[in-house]
A and B are shown apart, each in its own frame.
Chain A
């Protein structure tokens, strides 16, 4: 079915009548106009129903025409929950209804509506939890029924990004108040930078749809005036189609426009965000055709869509009469005005409506809408006299109509003010929230501040703009004056809710909550506002209480016998409205660091792994057999010569007359007596005595130590050194030179032969002994050479300027070719060091490991008064309860290997854990390190480790305490205990 409900110009401010746009909705072709939203295009095309409700699957159409309800959420391709009220149509757009079983017109789940009384508030909590396990059965069924929209897990990752913005004054909201504020701020000086953020595709706000006078001329005049003035100011940047989704400390505002989030830092903020119209609550107030006054005005004046043919208007304020005038002028018959107030309003809008001969029923309300057979529209409205708060007389009048308009009050869009900590107590005289305390640097204007008279709104905007500019440091003249009358009296009806015996009097349209649901929640003991919210889910749907919360608080207050202020408000937090995860993620920067030799590893077929931010070669040319590749690399080091990239190791220069003193305070061992030209192990602990890092210290001069640190630990070590010397004031400079040096370790019995080809330095055992360090030239490159090694073979570590790293790598590989040199990766290095019994900090240590547990008492200075951690280690010496030991397993290559973190079990209890374990091809057996209790730690004793089923090949083993392997404690190191090989 198609219809043309399009009104002639000047209604339809935002649409271009010369540009039809074709799209589809629910599988059928539809035509709208350029500038239409999905809602307005469909409405003009005769389609009101957009979705089915969440719980009862009742047909729903737009209520606010501004996205303040979940009724207008639709699916576009792989994008779920698009707000049809605000999404502008595009040619070829494919729009689908959500929450529908079957089709929108014939939803098979609509029978749920009939069972409504069997689905009370808290239904899910009460029904599906028994018997035990029942939820497991029901959950997928309920989730399938309940979800909004469809997620496409294969949807391509869109391109989202972020950009910082800076403003002296940010004005949020481009209506009359916001535009006035922006202008006033911008007029203080040419230097001030003002940003105006408007949610809609164009600025104008209420001036694009509301009516302020009987003649209907005022809005257009102010609109043209303000918009042209704002656009003419070069120091106002306007962001349209952009929403400010929260306020964060120091005026940091996320402003989302399309796929970009602006991170806007302002010095001051004007909140001119307007207000949400609120629903009149009566039976069947959710039928398609029930509209807020502002929704009808939006449809008519912004899009030229005729709301209906015959309307009943229920109102308690001037807005209802203004809407009635717009309706009449648009050719909609107004059957009746039900004015909830007992007295005839004294404004010319009411007079004008009366002049059109519209009957006005005073002290009356719509208390029931009669729906069409499938509830997809209205047949008539029942209007009755109000006889008390929420109560109507038995006698009623029936008006045939297809449209019911309500205008009974507003709720300030004060979200940003709440985020910023502003206070908005309820005013019993006006039945609305007042702004009582504004946060520093924030000002409000317009209807968010309870201002409804256009003259006052503009003046208030001016004043807010002036104040914000002043806060931002731009002062000019005195604050513009604001007249006293804000027009707030009578805007909000104090109790616009009329409970019906048969229910379907909706408070929250998103969650299908009716008056009795909230009253029942309180009656069942969920009386506090926070509990009522969570139990009933009121305000927890997509519209986050925008249309429900004011009435819900009033109901809660009444049910508890409290005032609204005593009932209180729930806390409002960002985001103000739904935002995409992609917007939050943005461009997702993931820093990565690559050594200068990175590409040589790739060319050699290395599998790369991440170590902190660094890419490191894990194993070369692994192909299908990773373990064989690792063992091959290991064999080549033990028997021949291998080369590993150690550029990622941390490096610190400690220089100055107090360099040795600094070393002795930061590290556990002794350095003052260390000889120049020698290296020494370093072990760092924190104040609690826990191991945090290790490395070697090379003394190049009395006043100069070059200290290595672990790849992921160096930044922390550097920070810690600077922290302490900010207090100690030693004559020492600490510099992080990690990135300045590339490094390799050439290891294996033939390493000396290879190196000798590349340097004039004496690399003989006598000339360059184990733990010696030298500044030398290698392959023409100035280097630091260290005779240290982690793998237990003759070896040299060579550190060169980072930009020469690739040349050094190439020179060594070339010189070593005739000796069978091969690169080796991190996995091989881990295996070789395990054979030597060296720990890896943070693999074999954890957040509690002290040096005594790690059997490193030898690295602790005993006589010194102080090093970081010393005092704690001294205290812990008396309280040891575990020890790191080496172990081996029976069974050779076929042994069942425990994994890292498998538990040591003693008498059925946890006694420790494995930290490293590997099969050693050199030793022909499985070896590892584990924490065990002290009575298990003696070499020769044994302990048991519980392994998981994954490690027993071909056999499915249940995860239980029986799955134990026996490990034998052996002395460390496993390989070459005399250290003959590394010292040759």
Chain B
């Protein structure tokens, strides 16, 4: 077992790291970025993840491309593009989230590696560009919200009907959550309902507080990356 790491050992840190430390997080090094792996209660986190858990996945890789011919360029690079406001998993597990005709957001899977993200980064050049990289890793934070109670809890913060039968897996809602703009992507883990919330990185502490408040009546709790990974089996 490797030595325990502290988020300040690494250059890249989620703005939430003090809160996570306060909740008892143990940290994993995800590509030089500290991510809460667990909160020391594997059984409790596993059960919460199935009914209501929130996990700071800001450390996982993200990328974005935006421009008048994003579709043409990313398709030429082998990305299997969905329609706007839909997400589509790629063969390497990367989730391609189409935010509009000309904008793509890429999220790595919970394994934290994305060949697609790496490939596009290598391929893109300013010369003759028809779309441009968007620094999604730093613009945004990412919170996974998992479990059956998620839609009811989210209804306290957001005006979109996110219930499972009204909001299909891999649908995207770009909307206002607790009065902040956010991107909500339904991204079930195994059979468990899950949302990935991609939000302003400077607001993650605020959003975490709102989520913590809203999930109290459903007995939700913070869970680590390990618990989210375990959902997929």
**A and B touching (Cβ–Cβ under 8 A):** yes
Which residues of A approach B to under 8 Å, CB–CB?
161-166, 263, 587, 589-596, 598-599, 613-614, 647, 653, 655-656, 701, 703-704, 731, 733, 735, 737, 739-741, 780-781, 801-804, 806-807
Known: A164-B158, A164-B161, A704-B126. A801 touches B135 (CB 8 A): yes
14 examples of A-B residue contacts, CB within 8 angstroms: A164-B155, A263-B159, A593-B202, A594-B15, A594-B202, A596-B201, A656-B68, A656-B129, A656-B132, A733-B67, A739-B138, A740-B201, A801-B135, A802-B138
Within the complex, what minimum Cβ distance (angstroms) separates B208 from chain A?
A: 11
- A740–B67 contact, CB under 8 A? no
B6-14, B80-88, B185-193, B225-233: which lies at the interface: B6-14
Interface flag for B119 (CB, 8 Å):
no
Give the chain A neighbours of B68 by CB distance below 8 A: 656, 731, 733
B200 contacts A739, C-beta separation under 8 Å = yes
- Quick check: B202 and A735 within 8 Å, CB to CB? no
Interface status of B117 (Cβ within 8 A of chain A)? no
Residues of B within 8 A of A806 (CB): 8, 13
Judge whether A592 and B13 touch: CB under 8 Å.
no
Chain B neighbourhood of A591, CB < 8 A: 178-180, 203, 206
Bound Cα distance A802, B201 (Å): 8
Judged by a CB distance under 8 angstroms, whether B134 is at the interface is yes
Output the nearest chain B residue to A162 by Cβ-Cβ distance: B156
Whether B112 sits at the interface, judged by CB under 8 Å, is no
**Neighbouring B residues of A807 by C-beta, 8 Å:** 11-13
- A587 near B213 with CB under 8 A, answer yes
Among B33, B131, B157, B206, the residue within 8 A (CB) of A733 is: B131
Nearest-neighbour CB distance to chain B for A316, whole angstroms, equals 48
Out of B11, B178, B202, which one reaches A595, CB within 8 Å? B202
Task: Give Cα A781 to B152, complex, Å.
Answer: 42
Q: A596-B15, A803-B138 are in contact. List 13 more A-B contacts (CB 8 A).
A: A164-B156, A165-B155, A591-B206, A594-B206, A596-B201, A656-B129, A656-B132, A703-B126, A739-B140, A741-B135, A803-B12, A803-B58, A804-B11
| Interface residue B139 (Cβ < 8 Å from any Cβ of A) | yes
Which B residues are in CB contact (< 8 Å) with A731?
A: 68
Known: A164-B161, A592-B203, A803-B33. A737 touches B13 (CB 8 A): no
Give every chain B residue within 8 A of A596 (Cβ-Cβ): 13, 15, 201-202
A446–B172 Cα gap in the complex (Å)? Answer: 42
- Distance of B59 from chain A, by nearest CB (Å): 9
Q: Is the CB of B137 within 8 A of A801?
A: yes
- Bound CA–CA A721/B14 (angstroms): 31
What residue of chain B has the Cβ atom nearest to residue A801's Cβ? B138
Expressed in whole angstroms, the Cα–Cα distance for A735 and B203 within the complex equals 19
Residue of B nearest to A731 (CB): B68
- Residue pair A739, B201 in contact (C-beta under 8 Å): yes
Q: Mark B158-186, 1 if CB is under 8 A from A, else 0.
A: 11010100100000000000111000000
Task: With both chains docked as a complex, state the minimum distance between the C-beta of B141 and any C-beta of chain A, in angstroms.
Answer: 9
Give the residues in chain B near A733, CB-CB below 8 Å.
66-68, 102, 131-132
Inter-subunit contact B13/A166 (CB<8 Å): no
CA A780 to CA B32, docked complex, whole Å: 13
The 4 closest A-B pairs by CB, nearest first: A593-B202, A740-B135, A740-B139, A802-B138
Give the B interface residue count (CB, 8 A): 44
Contact indicator A803/B13 (Cβ below 8 Å): yes
Contact A589 B156 (CB under 8 A): no
- Chain B stretch 7-59: residues in CB contact (< 8 A) with chain A: 8, 11-15, 18, 33, 58
How far, in Å, is A261 (CB) from chain B's closest CB? 11
Q: What B residues does A161 contact at CB under 8 A?
A: 156, 214
CB closest residue in chain A, given B127: A703
- Scan B99-126; emit 1 where CB is below 8 A from any A CB, else 0: 0001000000000000000000000001
Contact B135 A737 (CB under 8 A): yes
Asked if A804 and B12 sit within 8 Å, CB to CB, the answer is: yes
Expressed in whole angstroms, the minimum distance between the Cβ of A158 and any Cβ of chain B is 14
Write the chain B residue with the least CB distance to A595: B202
Bound-state Cα–Cα, A47 to B159, Å: 47
- Residues from chain A with a CB closer than 8 A to the CB of B15 are 594, 596, 598, 802-803
Q: Which residues of chain A come closer than 8 Å to B202, judged between CB atoms?
A: 593-596, 614, 647, 739, 802
B79 an interface residue at 8 Å Cβ cutoff? no
Q: Known A164-B155, A589-B210; judge A735-B132 contact (CB<8 A).
A: yes
Contact with A along B195-233 (1 / 0, CB 8 A): 000001111011000100110000000000000000000
**Docked CA distance A656–B68 (Å):** 10
Residues on A with C-beta less than 8 A from B152 are: 163
Please indicate the chain A residues that have their CB under 8 angstroms from the CB of B8 in the complex: 806
A803 (CB) vs chain B CBs: closest residue? B12
Q: For residue A598, which residue of chain B has the nearest CB?
A: B15
Q: A52 vs B205: C-alpha distance in the bound complex, in angstroms?
A: 51
Q: CA A598 – CA B206 in complex, angstroms?
A: 13
B200 near A593 with CB under 8 A, answer: yes
The smallest C-beta distance from B157 to any residue of chain A, in angstroms, reads 8
Q: Given B13, B129, B131, which contacts A703 in the complex, CB threshold below 8 Å?
A: B129
Contacts of A590 in B (CB 8 A): 179
B12 touches A587 (CB 8 A): no
Question: Contacts of B139 on A, CB cut-off 8 Å?
Answer: 737, 739-740, 802
Q: Which residues of B sit under 8 angstroms from A737, Cβ to Cβ?
A: 134-135, 139
**Which residues of chain A are near B12, meaning CB under 8 Å?**
801, 803-804, 807
Kindly provide the distance from the CB of B33 to the nearest chain A CB, expressed in whole angstroms: 7
Q: Which residues of A contact B66 (CB under 8 A)?
A: 733, 735
Q: A259 to chain B: closest CB distance in Å?
A: 12
Which of A263, A590, A591, A655 is most buried by chain B, counting CB atoms within 10 A of its CB? A591
The reply to whether B155 and A163 contact each other, CB–CB distance below 8 Å, is: yes
- Chain B residues within an 8 Å CB radius of A802: 15, 138-139, 201-202
Known contacts A593-B200, A781-B11: does B137 contact A803 (CB below 8 Å)? Answer: yes
- A161, B215: Cα distance in complex, Å: 12
CA distance A594 to B17 in the complex (A): 13
Q: How far is the CA of A161 from the CA of B67 in the complex (A)?
A: 40
In the complex, which residues of chain A have a beta carbon less than 8 angstroms from the beta carbon of B166?
A: 166
Could you tell me if B156 and A163 are in contact, using CB atoms closer than 8 angstroms?
yes
The residue of chain B having its C-beta at the shortest distance from the C-beta of A593 within the complex is B202
Report A968 CB to chain B, min CB distance, Å.
Answer: 43
Residues 131-149 of chain B: 1 if any A CB is under 8 Å from the residue's CB, otherwise 0? 1101101111000000000
> Which residue of the partner chain B has the closest CB to A736?
B139
In the complex, chain A residues whose CB is within 8 Å of the CB of B137:
801, 803
The verdict on A589 contacting B179 (CB below 8 Å), with A263-B159, A780-B11, A803-B201 known, is yes
Q: Is the CB of A735 within 8 A of B134?
A: yes
* Bound CA–CA A703/B128 (angstroms): 10
Are A592 and B155 in contact (CB-based, < 8 A)? no
B153 to chain A, nearest CB (A): 9
Which residue of B33, B58, B206 is within 8 Å of A592 (Cβ)?
Answer: B206
**Residues in A whose Cβ lies below 8 Å from that of B102:** 733
Chain B residue with minimal CB distance to A648? B202
A804 contact set on B, CB distance < 8 A: 11-13, 138
Question: What's the minimum C-beta distance from B126 to chain A, rounded to whole angstroms?
Answer: 5
Say how far B84's CB is from chain A's closest CB, in angstroms. Answer: 16
Q: Which residues of A have CB within 8 Å of B203?
A: 591-594, 613
Q: Return chain B residues, CB-CB under 8 Å to A613.
A: 203
Chain A residues lying within 8 Å of B129, measured Cβ to Cβ, are: 655-656, 703
Q: Which residues of A contact B161 (CB under 8 A)?
A: 164, 166
- Given A701-B126, A804-B12, A806-B13, answer yes or no on A741-B159 (Cβ-Cβ < 8 Å): no
Q: Determine the chain A residues whose CB is within 8 A of the CB of B156 once the complex forms.
A: 161-164, 587
Set A164, A263, A589, A703: member contacting B178, Cβ < 8 A: A589
Minimum CB–CB distance from A622 to chain B (whole Å) comes to: 24
Kindly list chain B residues whose C-beta atoms are within 8 Å of the C-beta of A704.
126
CA distance A733 to B157 in the complex (A): 32
In the complex formed, the residue of A with least CB distance to B152 is A163
Q: Please report the C-alpha to C-alpha distance between residue A591 and residue B132 in the assembled complex, in whole angstroms.
A: 29
The CB with the most chain A CB atoms within 10 A, among B126, B178, B202, is that of B202
Q: Chain A residue with minimal CB distance to B15?
A: A596
CB-CB nearest in chain A for B163: A166
- B58, B66, B102 — most chain A CB neighbours (10 Å): B66
Q: Which residue of B lies closest to A596 (CB)?
A: B15
